[in-house]
Structures are given as C-alpha cells and as structure tokens.
Amino acid sequence: MARAMFEYTKTILEKVSFNPALFCKELQKAVGRLLPFEIKELEIWIRQLILKNPELETCMPLLRA
C-alpha cells in the first residue's frame, strides 16, 4: 500500500504543478505521510519536474523540513 501512496502523491503533484502555492501545500502533505526513502525518491522526481516548471524550486525546502 505504501507504494500506491507514493504513486498517488506523484499524480497529485503533477496535476497541481501549474500552481506553485498549491504544489507546495500538496508537497507538505506528502512529506507528512511518506516514508523517508520515498521522500528521497520524490525529491529526485521533483527535480525532473522542476526542469519543466522552474517556479516550483521554491518548494524544495519542504523536503528537508
């Protein structure tokens, strides 16, 4: 089930990537419910997403909180 939550989180983040404020809000929720190794994987995935949407870079500190 944990893997399903990780995939669901990626889907949600991709859908809200047009709005940095909403993206940050959803990312904060994700950090609260994912396992530490999944957060590391998510960070790698988000770095790829930032290449397309550089304005999302402002949310990266949430992964280290």
Angle at 21 between CA 54 and CA 10, to 5 degrees: 70
Structure tokens at 17: 């990537």
pLDDT of residue 28: 97
Above pLDDT 70, what percent of the chain? 95
Report phi then psi at 16, rounded to 5.
-100, 10
Residue 61 has pLDDT above 90, yes or no: yes
Q: How confident is the model at residue 64 (pLDDT cuts 50, 70, 90)?
A: confident
C-alpha 51/C-alpha 17 separation (Å) is 12
Residue 43 has pLDDT above 80, yes or no: yes
Q: What is the mean pLDDT of residues 30-34?
A: 94
C-alpha 13/C-alpha 23 separation (Å) is 6
pLDDT of residue 1: 61
Q: What is the mean pLDDT of residues 6-30?
A: 97
**Radius of gyration of the CA atoms of the chain, in A:** 11
